[in-house]
Structure 1
Amino acid sequence: MKKTIQCLVLAVGISQLHPGDCEAQSKKAKTDFSKWPAGTSPQEVGKRVAEHFVQTPHTNFGRSTPPKFITYPETCTWYGALTFAKQTRDKELVKKLAERFEPLFGAQDTLIPKPIHVDYTVFGAVPLELYIQTKDKRYLEIGQRIADKQWGTPEGPHVKPESQGYLDRGLTWQTRMWIDDMFMITAVQSQAYRATGDKKYIERAANEMVLYLDSLQKPNGLFYHAPDVPYFWGRGDGWMAVGMAELLRSLPKDNPNRERIMKGYKSMMASLLKYQAESGMWRQLIDDAESWPETSCTGMFTFAMITGVKNGWLDAATYGEAARKGWLALIAYIDANSDVRDVCEGTNKKNDRQYYLDRKRNIGDLHGQAPILWCATAWLR
């Protein structure tokens, strides 16, 4: 009965408005990021997912055995939980996330990945964020060392004949022209800039991003999973979307590469807008209507759009509505345990459409948990 009365009141109120007023009210509701249906606000959802992460042991890509070192999905989730804690001024959550790191200063220091590959080096984003929030220089030493190693002497089993050539051109020797790199590389370098104020870090990230944009972005603004795999895989493109948004968030306005990166970012966002499903989700293969809705890429694209709207790079009415729609669709995939379902499993490249359609849909995979936290943070910035 109460709900019926509310609906009648709303109907009466709307009937007093002119058509133009109704349209304006509708647009305002869709871009009002402070009001959310019960249980769907960034504060509530982010808190649930972050607290769940705190209680989660170190993960190993779904295997039952513990990892030899921290994996990049855990790094991404840890970083997201930290940024969410900072944005909500949750000192108790920051404390828990710092306590998770404490054993890495001692007996469990072998869990710190060696910075010999982009997926390992991205770990530096976590101690750098902890330093930003706590000012404990132990974190800075670890994070800065990792960031510097990315531009240091090539070493380890992942060194290729072209590695030194990239370094000689002022790029990282870890360059491999995989679209995932544009989060893995730019995240740690952007964090090093935020922690130290030294522009060399953000300039490294920007130079690297331009190389990838010039080499890999297609005319429609999207990216193939690999040059020899002509499929727009959701999470692969997600790394590019988040990487550009995170980089642009801190890239100085006078940086000579800013205009080029912004052009690539806006081109991608315009294309993604066209491929968002009516439900609000994006698909495992972005442009394939028969492909299944996938949560990790939906979270990544939503984050990139939220960030663009919040910073004034994107039209608020158009992209704000898409981002809100994406968020509300995405969080419906969170279960009672605060796990996100329908997360594409770790995926190598393969020139086969069916390969992507048949990928396992995981529950609680940190590839999916992390973007939830990124989005929650972005909404609150």
Structure 2
Amino acid sequence: MTKKLLFLSLIIPFQVIFAQKNTLSDFPEGYEPKEIGKRLAYHFVDDKHELYAGRYIHYAEVSTWTGSLDYAIQTKDQKLIKLLQSRFEPFFTREKPLLPPMNHVDYNMFGGLALKLYQITNDKRYLDMGMAYADSQWEVPDNAKPEEKAWAEKGYSWQTRLWIDDMYMITSVQAEAYKVTGDPKYIDRAAKEMVLYLDEIQRPNGLFYHAPDVPYYWARGNGWMAVGMADLLTYLPEDHKDRARIMKGYLTMMESLKKYQAPGGIWNQLIDDPECWAETSGSAMFTYAFIVGIKQGWLDAKEYTPAARKAWKALVPYIDERNNVTEVCIGTGKKNDKQHYYDRPRVAGDFHGQAPFLWCIVALMEK
């Protein structure tokens, strides 16, 4: 064997190994998305309801539920689908009082769960329930406030409030309505709303303050925008008039997130503060947005795949022996005080964290 051939025979195996380590598959034992997804989804089946204001199903539970359903569909796990469907069935009878009213952006996103179940079962009860939530986001109630009516007059949802989490809450249910009806008005609504939020509240670096009067880049708040844009772009027709604007907002955000990814692989509670603590729910949302962008071809795979892989491998150890995601920031209202974000309690098993981990898992498994 010549020296050149000998050299190549030694180098090529290392190149293959390097290539494998920079893909979104072939994860080592303990990091396989399918196995972790099974743990988290079946754990959700046995978990208790999380109620909003002590009365209604919380949007974080809805998010975890839809993530579990997507996992069940991806893995063709009929047993899990039946269990998740059975968990919903009491909403038609004894648990009907837990259904959120159709008068708030956080409440209305419940409709997306019903519409996802309709796509699985073809049971019209889910369709009727889900479409009522989707349509009422644009049906102005008689007791609406003047500012709510003003948004509606401009063609936006009367529930518009320019909070960053709205761009998951509104767009998710409208996208599901589009999927089940094929009516472009639903995807048009979602896109128009997204453009408004991007124009009004996205910063030049692509990130988002928690609020206009709170100049801090809170991780999970930014996560809702990252996921909302990634999902909407997945459904939005290529020739849609708003696609270029939304893609610009998405790409600008992804570039900034890559810059602020910590050396360990995830992101901090305050994205641009290296001294702040590592937070898992926002980090999982950013990881999901990376994965979707890579697989859809929006992000340069060579540049972003190592970052997404590193993030996933950094996130998995935060799942404890009870299948709860740890280091999840609790629900957080805005406050113009940096210490406020440092001091937020961290919990295990909060649905705000369980949901985006499941989203990552499904995205990693999709071809």
Alpha-carbon distance, 1:22 to partner: 7.2
In the alignment, what sits opposite 1:16?
9
Structure 1 CA distance for aligned equivalents of residues 19 and 102 of structure 2: 46
Structure 2 CA distance for aligned equivalents of residues 217 and 14 of structure 1: 51
Q: Answer whether contact 1:27 1:317 (CA < 8 A) is retained.
A: no
Cα distance per residue 1:246-294 (max 9 Å; x no partner): 1111011111000000000000000000000111110000000110000
Structure 1 CA distance for aligned equivalents of residues 209 and 326 of structure 2: 25
Q: Does 1:319 align with 2:312?
A: no
Q: Answer whether contact 2:23 2:309 (CA < 8 A) is retained.
A: no
Structure 2 CA distance for aligned equivalents of residues 155 and 250 of structure 1: 32
For 1:365, the aligned partner's letter is D
List 4+ stretches of structure 1 deviating above 6 A: none
Q: Answer whether contact 1:283 1:291 (CA < 8 A) is retained.
A: yes
In the alignment, what sits opposite 1:98?
85
Structure 2 CA distance for aligned equivalents of residues 133 and 270 of structure 1: 36
Cα distance per residue 1:178-206 (max 9 Å; x no partner): 00100000011011111221111111000
Q: Does 1:329 align with 2:314?
A: yes
Structure 1 CA distance for aligned equivalents of residues 268 and 10 of structure 2: 38
In the alignment, what sits opposite 1:248?
233
In the alignment, what sits opposite 1:270?
255
In the TM superposition, 1:118-267 aligns within 5 A as 118-154=105-141, 159-267=144-252
In the alignment, what sits opposite 1:42?
33
Count the aligned residue pairs. Answer: 361
Label 1:350 to 1:89 Cα distance change in 2 as closer, same or farther (>3 A). same
Structure 2 CA distance for aligned equivalents of residues 25 and 322 of structure 1: 19
Label 1:292 to 1:175 Cα distance change in 2 as closer, same or farther (>3 A). same
Q: TM-score, normalized by length of structure 2?
A: 0.95
Q: Answer whether contact 1:14 1:22 (CA < 8 A) is retained.
A: no
In the alignment, what sits opposite 1:60?
51
Structure 2 CA distance for aligned equivalents of residues 221 and 271 of structure 1: 6
Q: Does 1:89 align with 2:76?
A: yes
Q: TM-score, normalized by length of structure 1?
A: 0.92
Structure 1 CA distance for aligned equivalents of residues 32 and 58 of structure 2: 29
Label 1:212 to 1:134 Cα distance change in 2 as closer, same or farther (>3 A). same
Structure 1 CA distance for aligned equivalents of residues 270 and 62 of structure 2: 25
Structure 1 CA distance for aligned equivalents of residues 114 and 67 of structure 2: 13
For 1:304, the aligned partner's letter is A
Q: Answer whether contact 2:113 2:130 (CA < 8 A) is retained.
A: yes
For 2:83, the aligned partner's letter is K
Residue 111 of structure 2 aligns to a residue whose secondary structure is: helix
Alpha-carbon distance, 1:162 to partner: 1.0
Query: Which of 259, 271, 277 does residue 286 from structure 1 map onto?
Result: 271
| Greater Cα shift, 256-265 or 191-200 | 191-200
Residue 51 of structure 2 aligns to a residue whose secondary structure is: coil
| Greater Cα shift, 49-58 or 146-155 | 146-155
Alpha-carbon distance, 1:42 to partner: 0.9
Q: Does 1:116 align with 2:103?
A: yes
- The alignment's C-alpha RMSD in Å is 1.7
For 1:16, the aligned partner's letter is S
Alpha-carbon distance, 1:43 to partner: 0.3
Q: Answer whether contact 2:156 2:193 (CA < 8 A) is retained.
A: yes
Alpha-carbon distance, 1:306 to partner: 0.4
Structure 2 CA distance for aligned equivalents of residues 270 and 281 of structure 1: 15
Q: Answer whether contact 2:207 2:253 (CA < 8 A) is retained.
A: yes
Q: Answer whether contact 2:117 2:126 (CA < 8 A) is retained.
A: yes
Structure 2 CA distance for aligned equivalents of residues 324 and 373 of structure 1: 15
Q: Answer whether contact 2:227 2:288 (CA < 8 A) is retained.
A: yes
Label 1:288 to 1:107 Cα distance change in 2 as closer, same or farther (>3 A). same
In the alignment, what sits opposite 1:32?
23
In the TM superposition, 1:293-304 aligns within 5 A as 293-304=278-289
Structure 1 CA distance for aligned equivalents of residues 14 and 250 of structure 2: 29
Alpha-carbon distance, 1:31 to partner: 3.3
Q: Answer whether contact 1:79 1:129 (CA < 8 A) is retained.
A: yes
Alpha-carbon distance, 1:161 to partner: 2.1
Q: Answer whether contact 2:23 2:306 (CA < 8 A) is retained.
A: no
Q: Answer whether contact 1:116 1:155 (CA < 8 A) is retained.
A: no
